[in-house]
Structures are given as structure tokens and as C-alpha cells.
Amino acid sequence: MGFLLAVCLFGAGALLASSAHAQDTGQAQPVPRTVNGYVEDASSGERLPGATVSVPELGIGSVTNQYGFYSLTVRLDSLVLAFSYLGYETTTYALSLPADTTLDVALAPYAIDLEEIEVVAQADSPIDEPQMGRHDVAVERIQSLPALLGEVDIQKTLQLLPGVQSGSEGRSGFYVRGGGPDQNLILLDGLPLYNPTHLFGFLSVFNADAMKHVELIKGGFPARYGGRLSSVVNLTMKEGNLKKYSGDVGTGIIASRVTLEGPIVKDKASFLFTGRRTLADLLARPFLSGRRTSGGYFFYDLNFKANYIASRKDRIYLSGYSGRDLFYIKDEWDDGKAKGDLGWRNRLGAVRWNRLLGSRTFSNVLIGVTNYSFAIGVHEEDTFVPESYKDESRVAYVSDILDFTAKIDVEHRPSPNHYLRFGVEGISHRFSPGRLWFWSVYSGETDTDTTVTSPIGVVRSGEVALYAEDDMTLFSGLRVNAGLRLAHYFVDDKGYPSIEPRLSMSRRLGRQNSVKLSYVRMQQPVHFLTASTGNPFTDFWISAMDRMPPQKSHQVAAGAVRSMKAGRYEASLEGYYKWMTDLIEYKAGTQTFDSVFRNWPDLIETGRGAAYGLEVFLQKKTGRLNGWIGYSWAKAVRDFRNLNNGEIFPYRYDRRHDVSLVAQYRLTANKEISAAWVYGSGYPAWLPVGRHVVTLDDDYDYRQGEDRVLVDYGPRNASRVGSYHRLDLAVHFRKERSWGTRTLTFGAYNAYNRRNPFVVYPKQHTNKLDVPIFSFRQLSLFPVLPAFAYRISF
């Protein structure tokens, strides 16, 4: 009740402030009138988030929310409204306002203009927007950039932005401002995904054909987001064409895909379906037929969404995603066979209800479920002739997470100077981090049927959060987003409350410049344990609990933004400092299945971390040639009492310098080339510094008396691997047909064949004096690789 009271008082205070601001005029003015409605695509009926709605004569405006809704309150009897969105023709309306007015606007996509091509979009003016470290990346631009083997990857595009690092070669996962991969809140239609990658991290699970909106937040987090420390990636799927049926079919080197969308009831209900799958295993089957030993791999992604406009005030959405990876191998012999497989799966589903509660108030209710599982298994059968005895055994290892989520979000716009948001969120977690299952049958009788789980077993926990925030203009040139998030995490009859203030502000300096400042406090109640060896058996999502409290962070940031040439060019500079507590790492010597046989808290060390850096972002938004330059200088360290002799050491992904150059050039209306060059200084590495020989004692049984060479390691992460850089290229050819559009893409990944470090490992050999010594070898993963994709849109 105390949390609820605090949020209510915060909201009431903001409402009173907005009312006082609106009425403090000194003279009688016209009665406030509200214009509201939706902005949509004229050709498909798709709602457009982030569209700008402005009153040019007053210099005020607003933007549509995630569902394309806007509300603007003015003290005028008439006005002219301008509606604009990237890639669409600007439309103006002259309105008389005898009362509150509803105006839905359909914007028409403009024909390609070689001098008006946008690459990265910001939903709000970057000069006035109080939030820092935020990027809206247009899906169309993601699809135009070079891609590994021609497979468009949203997360790899995000890696090209300053402050976002890729980890090792080819990885789709990312690390933001010194944080770990678990510290990124990745939302698909409002629900979290725990492992958003395929092929052990080389591709992301997000099919760009299904996405409408991609947003990245690195700092200055609004109060409506919580549960992670480092970033928010908010992805919204398309709604489906309300006007007509359309689709895409495409293929590339890695996978093929299909998209279908259209009306269920025209202008009333629609659907979207996308599918993507690798084909290598299917194409290889005829060649493997008849062989005793065979194997393969595949992944797939399925996205579905449907929506129904129940009334002018109500709209209902149903969305879902399912994705899977599976490696498998089969072996047969004269009297038996065996099969082994390893895979993981993501599934989520959500129901949402949009409701207009008045001309100025919009609400959204979400109920959803998320499931992630990882499994490995071996199944063997042996048949003995002539007795016909059949022996069969199975071993399986499984870990999984199941979440149920419910959220209510409310937006209220009492005036152009205030944009209030408040809501409540609840999540029920079930963590099952590791189970070993043994089953065997000998001569027709069950011999073993055993499941071994961690001593802690399945952990059930929950979290509740209340938030309120106000995006307000206090006076000309000063805009502030102030918010408060009250969170409470409970597990094993123990609670972890968290009070999380959020503050971001922007002060305009003239027409082209602004300075910004932000502070946020975050809490993360889930941990991700990962070993430096990359062994998937030692990677777990686990709940905070006794001796493993939730992770916490504070982040402060300051920066400046300059807009030039009427907004066609933009430059930003941002510095940040983040400190984190209650981080966890495996203890030295943790073995593969220790998490099954021992308590989690006995396997970990708890420590602290810090990260600070400077980010520069320069972009050209329009014209035949457009793109950006990103640079970041960063440092990230960790401090664990029982690791590295208690001394501070570099974080495993501490990279001092990161550079990205991205360019897109339209040769003609149907031909386009793009390029991306990246450079990163070397990551830390924990490498051996010496060796010594020991004689095995009686504990080693038959190996008694043998000599063994043991490796001595120096300070943790004290070495550095070589620098990383590569150039990616792509060229797109589009041709209009009577039935649609054909797009052919060619490209190259790592065009100049740079041998970048993927793994550095020690190798023992002897010198001329026959003395064992160590040298270090570098394993490079990708040479120059071709890229190809073919796509038909109809």
C-alpha cells in the first residue's frame, strides 16, 4: 500500500502542476480543446508510432505513441495541424475547434526522392528530447545494410551504434556500456526474451520482415522500464495490412523466409504471419540417405499477429513468437543405433487491449507468457539376436524458464507541456536451471528411472512494479522527464524492495544546440551465470535469493546535441559513469554439472563493477549519400573479493576503442550500395604465464607416479588479443514488375579478408633443448564471405 500511495501522490502532484501551468495565464483565454486520433499508413492501415503532430503557428507539437495515437490540447478556436513521418508525405489540416475533435490521419508513402532519403530516425526532436542514449532505427535501413551471408540481423545493426559492443567475431549478442548480455531488457511486443540468438549467438531471432519499430535505450531510462541494468531493446511487430493482401518470399545463403499479411475483415481486422528456416539440413538429406552416421542443424522463427478494431475506443491484439535451434547426430550399427541432440527454444504469446479512456487518456492492458528452454539428450538402443533382448537407455539434461506477465499502462496528456505515464506490472517466474534425467531398460525390465535436480530445485518467484513519469516543459527551452519506479521482488518468503528514481533533462541553447543530463537507478532481480570457457552447460538464468541479492546500478550521463542544415545533419557527444553492485561470477574450478548437485550460492562469488566512457555520434540523415560515424572510448572493470586475489580486473568485454562507419548511397531509384567498416581495440584475455610439473599421488589410482604439467595463470584478463576490423559491402538491385517488386542483393562480409581473433589459446611444444614451452595461437573464424539474397514482394 505504501508503494501505491507514493505513486498516486506522484501522479496527483504532476496533474496539479500541469493544471496550474495551463491556467496561469493572467487573462481569459479560449476554453481548452483537444484534438486526438490515430496516424496510419494510407496504403495498409498500419499505425505509425513516432509520427510528429505539430501546430506550426505555436511552435508546439506531440508524437504518436507506440500504437499510433496522439492527443494535443490547445487554447484555440481554430488551428492548422501538420502530420509528418519519415518516408511519408507531410499532410496539413485546417480545423475549427468548437469542441473536442477526433481526427484520424492517413499518410501516403512518398515516391523515392534521391535527395530525401532517411537512414536513422528519431521520433522526437533530438534537440528537445530529454532522454539520452536513445536510438530509433528504421527497419527499412536495417534491411539495406550489409549482412553476414546476406541474412539481415537487427542486433548486428545495433552493434554499429556507439556504446554497443559485439563481443567476439560474428556474434549477434551485444554488450552495452560495460554491462553483461543478461543486462539487456529485450522486449518483443512487450514481453521479454531470454536468449534472442540462433547458432550459439551468430544470428538473432528477430526476422526484420515482421518488425515495424526498433528502439534502443542505453541510458536515461524512463520509469516505465525496469528489471535490467544496461539497456532496453523494444521491438514492435507489424499489425498486418487492413486494406489488401500482400507478402514477401525470399531466400539467401543461410535461410529462406515468407511473409503473408492481409485483412480478415477489411478495415476492421487483419493478420500477419512470417516464417524463416534454414534449408541446409533438408537439402543434405538425399545425400545422407543410407549412411550409418549422419547429422545436421536447423533453426526456425515463426511470428504471428492479429488485431481487431472492436470500436472507435477499443482495439485488441493477439501476438506470438516461436523459435528453435537443434543440432543432431545419428549413428547406426549392426545391432543398435544412437541419436544425440542439443537445442534451445523460445516461445511467447500475448493478448493486448488498447482502450481510449477519454480524449486525452490512452490505456493498454497486456497479459502474456514467455518460455525459454535448453536441452541436450542421448538415446541408445541395442538388440541382441537370437535372444531378441533389447537394451535401451536415455540421458537428458534440461533447463528452462517460464514467466507469466500482466501489465497496465496509462498515458495522459493534459496539455502540450505535460505527458504523463503511469502503470503497474507483475511477473511470475519459474526457474528450473538444471535437471539430469536417466532412464534405462535391460532385457525388457526397467533398471533406472531417475531425475537429479539441484538441491534448491525449481524456484518460483515474483516481482511487482509501480511507476509514474511526467515528460514536461517547465519553461521555454527546458524539458524534463521525471519519474519514479517502485519495484518489489519476492522469493522464498523474502522480499527485495527497490526505489528507482529516474531523471532526464534537456536545455536548449539557441536554435541548434542543447545540453542534457540524466540519472537513473536500476535493479535486476535475475542473474545469468556464464563461464569463460563458453560451455553451455554452465550457462544459467537464476533467481536472486539469499546470498545472491538482485543486481543494482546507478548511472549518470551528460552530453550535448547539435542539429545542422535544417536537421539534415546531427552531432552528439555523451559521457557516462555507471557503477554496479551484487554482480556474480562462477567460483574458480566450477565443474560442468556442479549446478545440478550443489546449491547455486555455493558456486558463485559476489562483487562490484564500474563502467565509464565517452560516445560520439555524427550522422547525415538525408540525400543520396547518408549514414553515420560512431566512436566510443570506454572502460569496464570488475571487483570480486575472492577472485584475482581481491584486485580489480578488466571485464571480459572491456574494449577501449570502438569505431563504426556506415554509409548508404543510392545510385538510381532502383540501385543502391551500402558499406559498413568497424574497428575495435583488443579485448582482455586470461592467458597462462608459466607451468610446473607435479607427480600424481594415490588419489589418482592407475595414474599414480605419472608426471603432469599444470598451467599457471597470471592476473585475470591482464592480456589483450589483437585489434579487430573488417569491411562489409552490399549492393541492391530492385525492379518493379506488374505483380510487385523483385530485389536482388550481392555483398561481401570481411571484404579484405582480415584474420580477426576469435579465440587465442596456448599450445605446448619443446624448444631445441627439448624443454617444454608455451606459445599462443590465434583462431580466426570468418574469412571473406559472399552474401546473397533474393526477395519478391507482391
Over residues 641-685, the pLDDT tens digits come to 999 999 999 999 999 999 999 999 999 989 999 999 999 999 998
Q: Are residues 248 and 229 in the same domain?
A: no
State whether 399 and 516 are in the same domain: yes
- Res 448: pLDDT: 61
pLDDT of residue 700: 46
Find how far residue 47's CA is from the centre of its chain: 22
- Please report the pLDDT score of residue 792 as a whole number: 96
The reply to whether 227 and 241 lie within a common domain is: no
DSSP structure string for 656-694: SEEEEEEEEEEEETTEEEEEEEEEEPPPEE--EEEEEEE
Cell numbers 528519431: residue: 122
Q: What is the dihedral of CA 555, 413, 21, 423, to 10 degrees?
A: -50
Q: Are residues 374 and 387 in the same domain?
A: yes
Q: Are 531 and 589 in contact (CB under 8 A)?
A: no
User: Does 513 map to a domain?
Assistant: yes
**pLDDT of amino acid 156:** 93
240-262 pLDDT, tens digit each: 999 999 999 999 999 999 999 99
Q: Do both 620 and 647 map to the same domain? A: yes
Q: Find the CATH number of the domain harbouring 146.
A: 2.170.130.10
- Does residue 123 surpass a pLDDT of 60? no
Confidence class of residue 12 from pLDDT cuts 50, 70 and 90? very low
User: Residue 375 is part of which domain span?
Assistant: 237-683+721-793
Stretch 359-378: mean pLDDT, rounded? 95
Residue 611 shares a structural domain with residue 621: yes
DSSP SS3 for 53 = strand
Is 352 a residue whose pLDDT tops 50? yes
Residues 632 and 556 in one domain: yes
Are both 590 and 494 inside the same structural domain?
yes
Show the beta-strand stretches assigned E in 525-653. 526-529, 540-543, 551-564, 569-586, 604-620, 625-640, 649-650
- Residue type for 57, please? E
Residue in the structure block whose three cell numbers are 547518408? 626
Domain assignment of residue 22, yes or no? no
pLDDT in tens, 413-461: 998 889 999 999 999 999 987 777 777 777 656 566 666 666 667 899 9
**Is-contact 225 217, C-beta < 8 A?**
yes
**Type and span of the H or E element at 285:** helix 280-288
Count CB neighbours of 164 within 10 A. 26
The helix or strand, by DSSP H or E, that contains position 8, with its residue range, turns out to be helix 2-23
* pLDDT at residue 120 greater than cutoff 90: no
In a domain, 694, yes or no: no
Structural element, H or E, at residue 345: strand 336-356
Percent of the chain surpassing pLDDT 70: 85
Whether residue 268 is found in the same domain as residue 158: no
Distances (CA, A) of 765 to 691, 693, 721, 775: 12, 15, 21, 8
| Mean residue pLDDT across the chain | 87
Domain edge (last residue) among 214, 236, 258: 236
CATH number of the domain bearing residue 766? 2.40.170.20
Residue 15 lies in a domain: no
Which residues, including other chains, have CB under 8 Å from residue 287's CB and lie 6 or more apart?
A: none
Among the candidates 184, 210, 236, a domain finishes at 236
Give yes or no: residues 167 and 46 share one domain. no
Residue 708 falls inside a structural domain: no
CA distance 482 to 396: 50
- 695 is a domain residue: no
Q: Does any domain span residue 711? A: no
Same domain, 147 and 290: no
Q: What is the CA radius of gyration of the chain?
A: 28
**Residues 509, 511, 514: CA angle, nearest 5 degrees:** 35
Which three-class secondary structure state does DSSP give residue 130? coil
Contact 391, 442 (CB under 8 A): yes
Q: Grid coordinates representing 734?
A: 530492385
Distance CA 507, CA 560 (A): 9
Burial of 18 (0-12, 13-18, 19+ CB in 10 A): buried
pLDDT in tens, 524-565: 999 988 765 555 555 678 899 888 999 999 999 999 999 998
Domain boundary among 220, 236, 252: 236
Reply yes or no: is the peptide bond before residue 386 cis, omega within 30 of 0.
Answer: yes
Q: Is 789 exposed, middle or buried (0-12, 13-18, 19+ CB in 10 A)?
A: buried
**E-strand stretches of 175-268:** 175-176, 184-188, 191-192, 197-198, 203-204, 211-217, 231-237, 246-252, 255-265
Classify strands 33-41 and 101-102 as parallel, antiparallel or unpaired.
parallel
Q: Which of the four pLDDT bands, split at 50, 70 and 90, describes residue 4? A: very low
In a domain, 709, yes or no: no
**By C-alpha distance, which of 715, 779, 787, 794 is closest to 749?**
787
Q: Residues 639, 546: one domain?
A: yes
The tally of domains found in the chain comes to 3
Amino acid at 35: V
